[in-house]
Amino acid sequence: MVYRLIVKQQYTGNPVTRIIPFEGIRNFRDMGGYKTTDGRIVKYGLFYRSAELTGMTEKDKELFKSLGIKYIFDYRDASEATAKPDPIFEGVNNVRIPAIAEETQAPVQTIEEIIKSDFFKNMNADGLIDMYGKMTLNNSSYKRLIEVIQNPNNLGILHHCAAGKDRTGVGAAFILLALGVPKETVMQDYLITNETLKELNESIKAKFSEQITKEEIIKFDRMMAAKEEYLQAVFTVIEEIYGDMDIYFEKELNLTAEKRVKLQDLCLES
């Protein structure tokens, strides 16, 4: 796995260096390399995150096979997955558990449709903050995710949604926090999406520049951006309901202190 050696050599605190250059997949990156509060490091090759996988080229499939991924965890709903299904690889377990109730999702499948939809017209920053907060509680998808990553036979695991920003962003935050990565670093990891999706977002705006207003462009930027206040909504809800992450992990995600120690010993290195 040559890319992983390159990442380790280049990594000097800038998490952007962990991006893996697929041809047809956006926002694909290794979550390894982050330092925890006890000084250990998250191992490379265990946790990956990305946007949808439908655009995989043949070259991408070969690169994917080289990463040692055993589990694909899909946060999308049925309509999204039907329109853009995940590829099937021999020896890889595909599981899909929606992280957001399907009725709250936009009834559309493409960026073009989203821009023309009522979902887009009605979306604002407060709506996204509310969505992040709701994802935090009573979420069977994240409960299953945390259960899955405790089994070493399921690692490496790729978790993804459509853009790899919102649902995947929350899932990634839970994984890293469970491993003991500081909240500030978790936020940095979340914000990388602004770099990995920048080219795509700019091309979309250029394509629709004559069809949408300046106000709609601002709204599009807000919807497609990873903003601190969005992920902060997750932390705020947890603090308001449970007081701290330790209690949240145990009560909401069934990750007890004992289980968490075992997970960290499995996934961290000195």
Cα 122 from chain centroid?
24
CATH number of the domain bearing residue 184: 3.90.190.10
Q: Which residue range forms the structural domain that includes residue 53?
A: 2-269
Least Cα distance to 21 among 9, 33, 2, 3 occurs for 3
Q: What is the pLDDT of residues 158-172, one digit of tens each?
A: 999 999 999 999 999
d(CA 212, CA 54): 27
What residues form DSSP beta bridges with 95?
A: 73
- Beta-strand relationship, 41-42 and 268-269: antiparallel
Residue 121: per-residue pLDDT: 60
Task: Answer yes or no: is pLDDT of 7 > 70.
Answer: no
Residue 230, burial from CB neighbour count under 10 angstroms (0-12, 13-18, 19+): buried
Q: Among residues of the chain, what percentage have pLDDT more than 70?
A: 80
How far apart (Å, rounded) are the C-alpha atoms in residues 216 and 218?
Answer: 5
- Listed in sequence order, the DSSP H helices in the chain are 2-10, 58-66, 78-83, 111-116, 118-122, 125-135, 140-149, 167-178, 183-191, 193-196, 198-207, 214-224, 228-241, 245-253, 257-267
- The pTM score is 0.87
**Strands (DSSP E) along 5-105, which ranges?**
29-30, 41-42, 47-50, 71-74, 93-96
pLDDT tens per residue, range 198-255: 887 777 767 666 666 777 677 777 777 889 999 999 999 999 999 999 999 999 999 9
Count up the domains in the chain and report the number: 1
Per-residue confidence (pLDDT) for residue 120, from 0 to 100: 60
pLDDT confidence of residue 257: 97
pLDDT of residue 76 exceeding 60 = yes
